[in-house]
Amino acid sequence: MLAPERRTRADIISAVAIAVLVLLAALAVWARGDATGTESVTAPTPVSAPPTADQLPSTLRELWHAADAATSRALTSSGVAVTGNDGTVTGRDPLTGAQVWRYRRDMPLCGVESQFAMVLAVYRDQRGCSQATLLAGESGERRTSRSSYMDPTVRLSVDGTYVLARGPERLEMWRSDLVRTIEYGYVDALMNVKTQPRSDCDLLSAGSSPSRLAVVERCPQDPADRLTVLNPAPKDNTVPEEYGSHVLSGAGADSPDARVLAVSDSRVLLYLPGGTSTAASEVTPPRLAVYDGNGNPLVVQQLSAPLSETAAAVRLGSTSFVFTGNSLIALNGSTFDPLWAAPNAIGTPAMMAGKVLMPVGEGIAALDPSSGAEIARIPVQRPGYDNSPVSVAVLGATVLEKRGPVLYALG
């Protein structure tokens, strides 16, 4: 018969040491986990969107304001106004500014967007702007999330179907459930490098529609900027499908200021800065250039002045609006044919009671959407306004203005 095993003092010390190591490892995983440093305060009951306004207000005054440095435009979702600041995304009552829900992470906010009654918050960790979380607009409840390698900074935009997250070296597009549909540019997975048509280019600008992704990029081997038109949802999200890729030509085609302004299912609208041609010594004015769905040039529309760095475009219904820095240009949303232009704009518009609300220096001008004719002028006091672009949004009878890093509610 074998003698029974006996535990020695060394065995006990080894067992204790192993237990301590396991505990330390568990604590490290917990400390670095996504749940740590996250605070989620949801709405007691889901809120609903207020009734759509059927008439314009005759006057507007400030109801409240809140810090909003992480968004690129005035945002609403379901029945809340959305602000993003200092790691916190907040859904607010549009009339009082009171918190309806709040989501906070102990990370810097890269950006916030809204679409389909959902709010997207993207945070930066050691892998760049890689932590994306989708929140329900009516309650702030977390729906889903994703994590992947991204650039340290990204610009978010939405097109009614997808979310586009573009950094200076790579971009991704995500479905409504945050599943990636395409990655383009630099990739960190070595096995995917060869699937990219170009992986060493600077991505200057990008825009999307449900069927087209347009990218303006500058590649080392090219004499000027390149326009690449892609399928936003190829069969394999690691293998981009190009509809066309062409090096731009003409004065300003090598400028870092060239950018995508709007994309439809069959057209791409670019801004091309003017410049002096070295061959003919002729000055070419800045222009809006329209390309087909394969990136081939179609029409050029000359501008009287360059677009400012703060120029932006929004789509409202079937019309695209380009804020040039001092005026508003309305374009057909599919073909980008010009419809009308309105002077003295200080930002991007919104729709209210069937009219276009365009921010101007003295307040808000209400324009006829078919002709651009001014129908009414609503005074707005903006004390301390720093001349930064104003982004307008409407929620019920409340008009929201994002001025710089602050969101203002007017009613």
Q: Over the stretch 27-45, which tens digit does the pLDDT of each residue have?
A: 444 445 555 589 999 999 9
pLDDT band at 9 (very low <50, low <70, confident <90, very high): low
Q: What is the CA radius of gyration of the chain?
A: 25
CATH at residue 195: 2.130.10.10
Identity of the residue numbered 393: A
The verdict on residue 121 lying in a domain is yes
DSSP β-bridge partners for residue 404: none
The verdict on residue 392 lying in a domain is yes
Please count the residues of the chain: 411
Residue 84, H or E segment: strand 80-85
DSSP β-bridge partners for residue 39: 104
Q: Which of 200, 306, 284, 289 is nearest to 248 (CA)?
A: 289
Rounded CA gap, 75 and 283, in Å? 40
Residue 21 has pLDDT above 90, yes or no: no
Residue in the block written with tokens 């630099």: 186
Q: Over the stretch 57-66, which tens digit does the pLDDT of each residue have?
A: 999 999 999 9
Contact call for residues 368 and 355 (beta carbons, < 8 A): yes
Rounded CA gap, 341 and 34, in Å? 48
Secondary structure letter of residue 50 according to DSSP: P
Q: What is the mean pLDDT of residues 397-411?
A: 98
Residue 234 sits in which domain range? 36-410
The verdict on residue 4 lying in a domain is no
Residue 19 has pLDDT above 90, yes or no: no
The verdict on residue 3 lying in a domain is no
Task: Identify the pLDDT of residue 273.
Answer: 93
DSSP β-bridge partners for residue 62: 410
With a CB cutoff of 8 Å and minimum separation 6, the contacts of 291 are: 214, 227, 229, 267, 268, 269, 270, 297, 298
Q: Where are the beta strands (DSSP E) in 344-405?
A: 347-348, 350-352, 355-360, 363-367, 374-379, 390-395, 398-403
Task: Identify the pLDDT of residue 37.
Answer: 87
Q: What is the mean pLDDT of residues 255-280?
A: 88
Residue 186 has pLDDT above 50, yes or no: yes
Beta carbons within 10 angstroms of residue 255's beta carbon: 19
Residue 107 has pLDDT above 60, yes or no: yes
Rounded CA gap, 164 and 155, in Å? 8
The verdict on residue 402 lying in a domain is yes
Q: Over the stretch 211-253, which tens digit does the pLDDT of each residue have?
A: 999 999 999 999 999 999 999 999 999 999 999 999 999 888 9
13 against 158, higher pLDDT: 158
Task: Identify the pLDDT of residue 266.
Answer: 96
The verdict on residue 18 lying in a domain is no
Q: Over the stretch 125-147, which tens digit does the pLDDT of each residue have?
A: 999 999 999 999 999 999 999 99
| Per-chain mean pLDDT for the chain | 92
256-293 exposure pattern, b = at least 16 Cβ within 10 A, e = fewer: ebbbbbbbbeebbbbbbbbbeeeeeeeebebbbbbbeb
The model's pTM is: 0.89
Structural domains in the chain (count) = 1
Lowest mean pLDDT among 96-105, 275-284, 303-312, 387-396: 275-284
Q: Over the stretch 333-366, which tens digit does the pLDDT of each residue have?
A: 999 999 999 999 999 999 999 999 999 999 999 9
The verdict on residue 277 lying in a domain is yes
Q: Over the stretch 362-383, which tens digit does the pLDDT of each residue have?
A: 999 999 999 999 999 999 999 9
What DSSP string describes 124-172? EETTEEEEEEEEETTT--EEEEEE----SS-EEEE-SS-EEEE-SSEEE
The verdict on residue 147 lying in a domain is yes
pLDDT band at 199 (very low <50, low <70, confident <90, very high): confident
